[in-house]
Amino acid sequence: MKISVSFTLLLLLGTVPPCESTDYQKTFPQDIYAALRELTASLVQLKADVRLLLTQVRQIAFSASLVDKSESFVGPSAMDTTLIFTYVPTNIGNAYNSTTGVFTAPVRGAYHFEWSVGANGGTSGAVLVKNSANVFLAYEQAAGFMSSSKAVALLLEVGDVVFVRVFVNTRAYDNLNHHTTFSGHLLFPM
């Protein structure tokens, strides 16, 4: 409200010719001081609003790999098993939990995820799961070292969970070079 009032005043001032009459010149200084006070007040309010908006914009981005240094296989298993990515170089907003391997959406919005699964011989697969539904699978049958990657954009509600499971009867390989990874970020709130 304050902001629109002062902008209206400014517009009015701008449309008045500078030296129309002596009457006007007498009253003009009072008007402009009132307008300046109003403008100052609205600028203060505007600054406070901007500060509030900046604190409300959520910044969410994470990247993790299965292990930090040691060589590790997860699987094979008779059922899909949640991968817990324990090496976490980036976790802005703390929406990824390195104890559970689960990302929890703190705001409704469009998110982007990427994941890759490393192979060291044999079959490797990792499926991204939204709540309880498999979304996309990264999969490979490799004689030696390889990694398969996928990415997806998802609309998430507050509290939706996203995680990666090693696919049934396959395994995920990782070492200090980080072949099996999980990353994500908020594209924009909705």
Ligand X SMILES: *[C@@H]1O[C@H](CO)[C@@H](O)[C@H](O)[C@H]1NC(C)=O
Q: Which positions touch ligand X (CB under 6 A)?
A: 94, 97, 99-100
Between 73 and 111, whose beta carbon lies closer to ligand X? 111
How far is it, in rounded angstroms, from Cα 104 to Cα 158?
Answer: 8
Q: Which two tokens stand for residue 28?
A: 């003009």
The three-state secondary structure class of 65 is strand
**Closest CB 161 distance from ligand X, rounded Å:** 11
**What whole-number distance in Å separates Cα of residue 150 and Cα of residue 135?**
10
For residue 190, CA distances in Å to 131, 139, 156 come to 19, 32, 9
Place of tokens 């790999």: 65
Smallest separation, CB 60 to ligand X (Å): 14
Least Å distance, CB 91 to ligand X, is: 9
Residue 40 or 100 having the CB closest to ligand X:
100
Residues in the chain: 190
Q: Which is nearer to ligand X, 86 or 97 (CB)?
A: 97
Nearer to ligand X, 93 or 122 (CB): 93
Q: Based on C-alpha coordinates, what's the Rg of the chain?
A: 28
In angstroms, what is the minimal distance from the CB of 129 to ligand X?
17
| Whole-number Å distance between alpha carbons of 182 and 2 | 47
